[in-house]
Amino acid sequence: MLRELQFEEAAAGSPPGAGDLYAADGLLDLGAVRELARLPLPELDYPPHRGGAPIEAGRSIFAILAERDILVHHPYDAFEATVQRLVTEAADDPDVVAIKTDAVSRRRPLGNRRSAAARCWRRQEVFVFVELKARFDEERNIEWAKKLEVAGIRVVYGLVELKTHAKTALIVRREPDGIRRYVHIGTGNYNAATAAIYTYVGLLSADPELGPT
């Protein structure tokens, strides 16, 4: 390694010597080489990952869920084409009477969508659980919760001593045969950015056993 580095142009003035190479006990801090990963050399990068769309387009997601459950696996199934699609359709659907979810912060697109729903479609009851014990996000979450309340959203705060990790959403919809409840139960955050990186699963369902009455 020292020999190869001596051929670098920057090393012409003072080539590296034995004192520039040292052993480190334990694992290396790979975060220290983040600058290398950010170099503008796209030919050295892996191609960007694009998750699939397991839910067919052109049909209401509610009609599809009325027929079958859908198990999604992020990031292989795109968050935008599954969970976010469910919430987007719910916010725009005149038959949806309530949207209830947890773990929303200002950096999560679902929170933005629910804010829009509360401002533009007052027919819906929008209910959000905001977690207070969220690493690095406590102050942001409190600030965002106040904005949600101003927008007309009902906000409930989590307990400071407890960490809420499971993510759930409930959509209540008025249909010809009565009220039907649609749910999402997932193991990861409601965050499109991290859903493209972290691996977790979620279930979309209209099973009455899962939707509380």
| Per-residue pLDDT tens digits for 131-162 | 666 555 667 767 767 777 777 777 777 676 77
Residues of the chain with pLDDT > 90: what percent? 31
Q: Quote the percentage of the chain above a pLDDT of 70.
A: 76
Other beta carbons less than 10 A from residue 79's beta carbon = 25
Residue 187 pLDDT more than 80? yes
CB 127 within 8 Å of CB 100? yes
- Each residue of 24-80: pLDDT tens digit? 888 878 887 888 888 899 898 888 888 999 999 999 999 999 999 999 999 999 999
Place of tokens 């397991």: 54
> Would 49 be classed as within a structural domain?
no
Query: What's the structural domain count of the chain?
Result: 2
Domain of residue 67 covers 61-205
Nearest to 83 by CA among 172, 174, 205, 210: 205
The whole-angstrom separation of Cα 181 and Cα 147 is: 27
CA atoms within 13 A on the CB side of 207: 11
Q: Which residue numbers are catalytic?
A: 165
Q: Do 138 and 88 belong to one domain?
A: yes
Q: Which residues pair with 67 in a beta bridge?
A: none
